[in-house]
Structure 1
Amino acid sequence: MMGPGSPPRKVGWGEDLDVESTHLASPTDDILYNSSRVAPTTNVRGPTLVKPATVSELPTLLTKIQPGGGSIRRESVGNRRSSATRRLSTSISAALLPLPQTKSVYLQLLFAGVVVICLVWTVWLIMLNTAPNYTVNRVMNTENFDNGVFWLFVDPSPYLLWLSVVGLSVAGIGYVAILVKMVARPKRRVSQAPGSLRSSPKIDATKNASESINSAKQFTRRVTSSAQLIMALAQTDSVSRQLAKLGMKIGDLAFETVLLIQILEAGSPTPIVAIFTIIIASNALACATTMFLPFQRIGLIETLVDLLFDLLIVVGCPMLVLVYCLSTFNFPRDKYAINHEVFPPGWFEQQASVVADPAQTAVIYKSLKSLRISSTLDFFARMGVQATLFLRLRHLVNLIQSPWKQRTCVYPRRRRSAAILFVVYAILLIVFVEESVRTSTIACDPHPECAVHARRWTILESASLTQCPCLMMIDRDIAPKSYAEWEQPLNVTAKVAQLATRGDLQTVQLTNRFLPVLPDELRRCTELRHLTLEYTHTQTLPDWFKGFTELEFLHLESKFTSPFVVLPDDIFRDMSSLTFIHFAGFVPMKRLPSFQGLTNLKSLTLAVFLLLDQLPAFDHLHRLERLLVTCVPILDTLPDFAPIKENLKSLILTDRGTWCCNGFLGECNLQHPMCQIHPLWGTPAATCLASDREKATPDTLALIEKYPDNICNGLLYPGSLEGPPTPATMDPCNGTLYRQCIDASGFESMCYNARFMGIACDTNPFPIKMRRYQIARGVGDPCNPEYEAWLGCK
């Protein structure tokens, strides 16, 4: 080392100029610095051809290269171009230096956790698409509700199921590959030691230059190699590459916009819509902002920001939907448990839907369904954001393991047109969502029966009642207080027509409302999925009803005074999505339509068919899980149970069916109570089955033997089942539930709204026992000591 004032040390042609500099500089510094020592005489692009020097010219050449008697001073290389080159080499060297080992480990652990979360979420989505009812039951803790068929999700078509599983599996494999890449030992770029730098071919060539006429050629090659290195580094941050990344960003925002529109059209809760909108708008604004940030390593920041927003879209928002469903599902489990404890199997009160809030359940069902891939467009939108997230994660892992690959920037710097595009997009997106929410809410304000409406930008018309994009109409009176309300309920025909005009209705639930005929406007609602008509005075369905091919849930409950009489013969022919059927109170109906086409039916309930003597074949009900047949007193045979034996989880055949004792199961026993005159319905006594009639098949017998407690028992007697309300039974109650009343028979009686009928005096002991248990355990509605002291209320 030279001390202060020491004369500059003279070095030979091939010696190191500065040992300390050589020790501290990187190989890139060495290449770039040595390339800067030769100042070109002309400003030409590309490598300069150097004519070899002759022996006579060599001293002159050495004098030009080593001015001042052959001594080289570091400060002599102080021209502007050399200084700029050294600054460039220093910045490049700093960028190429690997991260400290401790920080790299922490980053890898952090991102490994992120990738694991993405992988677990993807696996859960695969389960949700392949076994939706099982998966949702596990998450929502509803396995015991209605024997596991409470949610009744429709199994996807084989094509869509295959598409979803393959796409999500590829995404999962990609996450696994990223984890493997993180765990595997990366190839690190190791700088050479000082000693190795001395003995490198490039240094040896420099040492031998003073002894060989070919040294100039070797030097030219080094200059050319340095130029090629700089060009390669410049290509990594080329404008074309940045523009391509910008195009990918625009495509990413396009996929996210499609998902946002689907959320708006599905009528998702306002908090979810707001959060999703803020994330997408922030994503666009963040991209515009980072283009103008004066940071040297802005590329890493841009990558991290993009990764954050992709994580929020792909994993964060769907998880938020799941958390919302879990937090808002307030099912009265204690009340449901008492109902199961008190009422016999198959009774109305044992159904989970009886105690669940229908609007809440419908919203949660739609929210959970939105997490599934339900269409081809949905598939491409989901896979698009999944692919973007995978590429971001892989790129970031590469940067952690190979910091020298980091680019200066991902997107073009200070590109005003692109930034303005993103800002305008964010503003338009916020305006679009705000107007969609605002105008649709105003359009639906006159219709409180509309429980859920699409968040759609609506052109408002003054005093119009047909502009609401309603998705769910729920209008129920589950406890009419007077006989007039029971017999003459509110007419909702016009209301249904108004809400169906736009063709958006997907759910219609009416209880104790007057709808004798389905309005023609309902025909426009081709996406109708849920229809519940309880005590609506409807007696038939129009022929165009078979056009509701997307129907999933059908619940029809008749009044005894105005029951359903007939259904179209081929009504179910194209209803492959139908999963739930509940028909009750069809007293005079003698024949049911064919079940052909019901390939996804999971729950079938048939109750109070007093004139029905035969059931349609079960040949297409391969996925049936729950079968309930009760109060069908003249049914003398059953269809073959072979098609349903694999998936059936609950079989309940209660009250009288003459098949129990007329020889269908083997021996004819007319002395059996089931074959006597029915004590409640007055049905005539049964006769033995004719010899030419088909008997029970082995599969039918095996399935019946599997459920002995639910088969051929529970014969109904007077007082054990509530009949239709009358003025004599409703007047003593005066519209008050659980009030003690006096029955003409002298039995203990209570005012009760059995099966959502009017509040009437009821001698059935099960509701009385249920209410006593509720009061004793503090479950259900708060008790009123004025009316319920006799039940234990204090």
Structure 2
Amino acid sequence: MLLAFTLSFLAMVYLTVVQIMPNWMANFMMGTATLDNGEFLLMSKPSQAIVVTSALMLSMFACLYLWLIVFMLSYNSETTVNNLARTPDPKSLSYRVMQKFLPLLKRIQAQTKRASSNTAAAVVSTPRNSSQTSSFGSRISSFGSQTSSFGSRTASRLISDFTSIEGTYHRYYDAVLDFPKLIFQTMSLSGYLSKGFPLPIIFFYVLPLGFNWLISFYRFQRNKPDPMLVVARVFYLFDLFFAVFAPIVMLLYSYYNFNMDRANFATREETLTPGSFDRIARLFADPIQVQMAKTSLANLQITGGEYILVKCFLNLLGIYKWKKYPHLHQDAEVSRMDQGVTHLQYLHVENDFQHSSLQYLPPDIFTEMHSLRFVRTGGASGLTEYPSLKGLHSLSTLVMSIVRGLKQLPNLDDLSGLTTLYIADAIHVHSLPSLTGLTSLKNFAIFRRNEICCNGWATGYCDLTNFQCLPRPNEPTVQCVSDRMPAEDLAVVERIDGFLCGTNITQDLEAPEPSLESTDGVCQGVLYRECYLNGTRGICYNGRMQVVHCDVFGEYEKMRRLQITRGVGDKCDPDVEAWLGCPNSTAHDE
């Protein structure tokens, strides 16, 4: 038991650290610090008040578990059992609880007071003389004192019957303390089932929970006293497991079942344009593993006031019960999501911008979605107005890709928690909104065609001969502007070494889009094959999780060459990838 309490103390210390540094702890546990610049798991960011309150609460529980250890080491078994068996102190917690919550006790007290007041009223209404009144009043006072004493003794005896180990109604007292946690644990199991948790976790949770219910019913049916507290200790060991260790066991399961080819993904980060689809690590990880790790870590984090109340109640109840039962240590289509969807955390919309572009999002779709952490709208060339981002203080990643229909980007002032901002193909946006409110920004990239990179706003000089501003059919002509990027916004980009109008892809987006010729004609579904499209050499690859087609941008070819050199990723086939440097197996063996 001392070991269990020591582990509980350490677990509370660990949970305190999780509240203060959730993202760092998640990256430390799962080894994801290098993925998506430390924002791979997108941990929740509760308010500062919640963080401080939960950290203080868990620190208090750590101290209470430490006090339990000292309590158990300081009292011998005989003294403890004798203290538990005797009538409780009227000033004790159990006495006050029973006074407050037992209707029967209240009824006895009310009847006693009513009888006393009725007798006193009768005396006042029929006095005969002063001496008789005085004498009778003395008798009434004596009777009232005896009645009060009788009520006190009755209340004490009733409390003793409930709280004493050998009490007549002690099993009901056990049920009052046991059922809240059992119900909460069963509700947790229901939540795990609805979320589709892996069978090993479900089995691991169901087995002790079933034993917990059986032991609880056994205790309720048991009439014999348990002075050695054997049944109580077995039950509360299971109780302690659910309260403290179950979330950590789930986290360990996630850790040992989480697989991510980091070396392979490193080649993507070194070769692909910052902000591109194929550089977002969480999109290429196993979604089940990611969600399992995310949920396991979220179970350790307190994100709302209601969770603080539940956690506080359950831990106080557990500590109180353990104090009452100490160890005897001498014993061996985007729908109208704005209507009712308020807890959404991830929104990823990806489209074929040529044939099925995103056309519309309600302007107020994000108004009540204060829990949003990740938003990506890809292929949104038909979108003419972007929804308001007001109030999204928890948003961590925002990607606006191929937003060719926009002339103005949304205000970013409320995105104080934003760490990643990527903008691609904003070809009609004359300037960016203020970036000074992005106090948590770590990653910034604006790439492909963007008017601000050649109209003078971002670079300080207008160059209409730049590839990004060349005239295109069915597009308005780019005009030079006199406004310039504010120095404070430029400082934000430079502070994080952001990608702003650097050397970029110099092909229009329509050119490399999959076609019958680029897919079936030259690739025929074979990855990494050498191909030629309009006289330009390329590589057959399924970028953005699309069909395998001939990509002539050059980035995927560079990425695959690096993977072959380092021996990571898919095993190379010399019959297909000799042009990429894949060694011939026969020559290699010789």
**Which TM-score tier does this pair reach, normalised by the shorter chain?**
0.7 to 0.9
- SS of the equivalent of 1:239 reads coil
The question of 1:360 aligning with 2:149 is answered no
- SS of the equivalent of 2:512 reads coil
Alignment of 1:189-200 (within 5 A): none
Q: 1:18-49: per-residue Cα shift (whole Å, max 9, x none)? A: xxxxxxxxxxxxxxxxxxxxxxxxxxxxxxxx
Match of 1:780 among 561, 569, 575: 569
The question of 1:689 aligning with 2:481 is answered yes
- Kept in 2, the 8 Å contact 1:751–1:760? The answer is yes
- SS of the equivalent of 1:628 reads strand
The question of 1:156 aligning with 2:46 is answered yes
| Cα displacement (A) at 1:727 | 0.7
Aligned to 1:273: 202
- Kept in 2, the 8 Å contact 1:154–1:552? The answer is no
**CA distance in structure 1 between the aligned counterparts of 2:9 and 2:511, rounded to whole angstroms:** 54
- Kept in 1, the 8 Å contact 2:342–2:369? The answer is yes
Q: Compute the RMSD of aligned alpha carbons.
A: 3.7
Residue identity matched to 2:526:
T
Q: 1:314-340: per-residue Cα shift (whole Å, max 9, x none)? A: 233222211111111111112111111
**CA distance in structure 2 between the aligned counterparts of 1:148 and 1:623, rounded to whole angstroms:** 14
- Kept in 2, the 8 Å contact 1:677–1:684? The answer is no
- SS of the equivalent of 1:173 reads helix
| Cα displacement (A) at 1:639 | 1.0
Match of 2:253 among 310, 321, 324: 324
Residue identity matched to 1:773:
L
Residue identity matched to 2:411:
A
The question of 1:307 aligning with 2:236 is answered yes
The question of 1:143 aligning with 2:33 is answered yes
Residue identity matched to 1:156:
P
| Cα displacement (A) at 1:711 | 1.5
**Inter-CA distance 684–717: structure 2 relative to 1 (3 Å threshold):** farther
The question of 1:564 aligning with 2:338 is answered no
The question of 1:761 aligning with 2:550 is answered yes
Aligned to 1:619: 413
- Kept in 2, the 8 Å contact 1:605–1:628? The answer is yes
- 5+ residue gaps in structure 2? 80-159, 586-590
TM-score (norm 2): 0.74
- SS of the equivalent of 1:344 reads coil
Aligned to 1:9: none
| Cα displacement (A) at 1:596 | 1.9
**CA distance in structure 1 between the aligned counterparts of 2:221 and 2:348, rounded to whole angstroms:** 60
- Kept in 1, the 8 Å contact 2:541–2:548? The answer is yes
Aligned to 1:49: none
| Cα displacement (A) at 1:726 | 0.6
Match of 2:346 among 553, 573, 590: 553
Q: 1:181-227: per-residue Cα shift (whole Å, max 9, x none)? A: 467x669999xxxxxxxxxxxxxxxxxxxxxxxxxxxxxxxxxxxxx
Aligned to 1:134: 24
Alignment of 1:198-277 (within 5 A): 237-241=166-170, 243-277=172-206
Residue identity matched to 1:248:
L
| Cα displacement (A) at 1:706 | 2.1
- 5+ residue gaps in structure 1? 1-109, 191-231, 404-517, 519-540
TM-score (norm 1): 0.56
**Inter-CA distance 134–598: structure 2 relative to 1 (3 Å threshold):** same
Residue identity matched to 2:447:
T
**Inter-CA distance 721–146: structure 2 relative to 1 (3 Å threshold):** farther
| Cα displacement (A) at 1:279 | 0.8
Aligned to 1:727: 516
| Cα displacement (A) at 1:619 | 1.9
| Cα displacement (A) at 1:641 | 1.2
| Cα displacement (A) at 1:399 | 4.5
Aligned to 2:123: none
| Cα displacement (A) at 1:558 | 1.8
| Cα displacement (A) at 1:246 | 4.5
**CA distance in structure 2 between the aligned counterparts of 1:547 and 1:245, rounded to whole angstroms:** 41
- SS of the equivalent of 1:565 reads coil
**CA distance in structure 1 between the aligned counterparts of 2:474 and 2:13, rounded to whole angstroms:** 57
**Inter-CA distance 263–129: structure 2 relative to 1 (3 Å threshold):** farther
Alignment of 1:148-547 (within 5 A): 148-156=38-46, 164-165=54-55, 167-181=57-71, 237-241=166-170, 243-286=172-215, 299-373=228-302, 381-395=310-324, 397=326, 399-400=328-329, 518=333, 541-543=334-336, 545=338, 547=340
Match of 1:576 among 348, 362, 370: 370
Alignment of 1:610-689 (within 5 A): 610-644=404-438, 646-665=439-458, 667-670=460-463, 673=466, 676-677=469-470, 686-689=478-481
The question of 1:738 aligning with 2:506 is answered no
- Kept in 2, the 8 Å contact 1:268–1:367? The answer is no
Aligned to 1:701: 490
| Cα displacement (A) at 1:683 | 6.7
Q: 1:674-706: per-residue Cα shift (whole Å, max 9, x none)? A: 77527x99977743324xx5x433421211332
**CA distance in structure 1 between the aligned counterparts of 2:77 and 2:293, rounded to whole angstroms:** 50
**Inter-CA distance 736–247: structure 2 relative to 1 (3 Å threshold):** same
- Kept in 2, the 8 Å contact 1:617–1:639? The answer is yes
**CA distance in structure 1 between the aligned counterparts of 2:473 and 2:296, rounded to whole angstroms:** 44
| Cα displacement (A) at 1:595 | 1.8
| Cα displacement (A) at 1:713 | 0.7
- SS of the equivalent of 1:742 reads strand
- SS of the equivalent of 1:330 reads coil
- How many residues align? The count is 499
- Kept in 1, the 8 Å contact 2:467–2:506? The answer is no
Q: 1:132-183: per-residue Cα shift (whole Å, max 9, x none)? A: 3332122111122112222123323677656644543432231132345467
**CA distance in structure 1 between the aligned counterparts of 2:200 and 2:77, rounded to whole angstroms:** 47
**CA distance in structure 2 between the aligned counterparts of 1:156 and 1:342, rounded to whole angstroms:** 35
**Inter-CA distance 723–674: structure 2 relative to 1 (3 Å threshold):** closer
- Kept in 1, the 8 Å contact 2:171–2:220? The answer is no
- SS of the equivalent of 1:326 reads helix
**CA distance in structure 2 between the aligned counterparts of 1:688 and 1:592, rounded to whole angstroms:** 24
- Kept in 1, the 8 Å contact 2:384–2:407? The answer is yes
- SS of the equivalent of 1:307 reads helix
**CA distance in structure 2 between the aligned counterparts of 1:129 and 1:299, rounded to whole angstroms:** 39
| Cα displacement (A) at 1:371 | 3.9
| Cα displacement (A) at 1:563 | 1.0
- Kept in 2, the 8 Å contact 1:656–1:712? The answer is no
Q: 1:271-296: per-residue Cα shift (whole Å, max 9, x none)? A: 22222221122124345667999999
- SS of the equivalent of 2:185 reads helix
Q: Which has the larger radius of gyration?
A: 1
**CA distance in structure 2 between the aligned counterparts of 1:698 and 1:717, rounded to whole angstroms:** 28
Aligned to 2:559: 770
**CA distance in structure 1 between the aligned counterparts of 2:468 and 2:310, rounded to whole angstroms:** 61
Residue identity matched to 1:364:
A
| Cα displacement (A) at 1:564 | 1.5
% identical equivalent positions? 27
| Cα displacement (A) at 1:625 | 0.9
- Kept in 1, the 8 Å contact 2:338–2:367? The answer is no
Residue identity matched to 2:557:
I
- SS of the equivalent of 1:573 reads coil
Residue identity matched to 2:266:
A
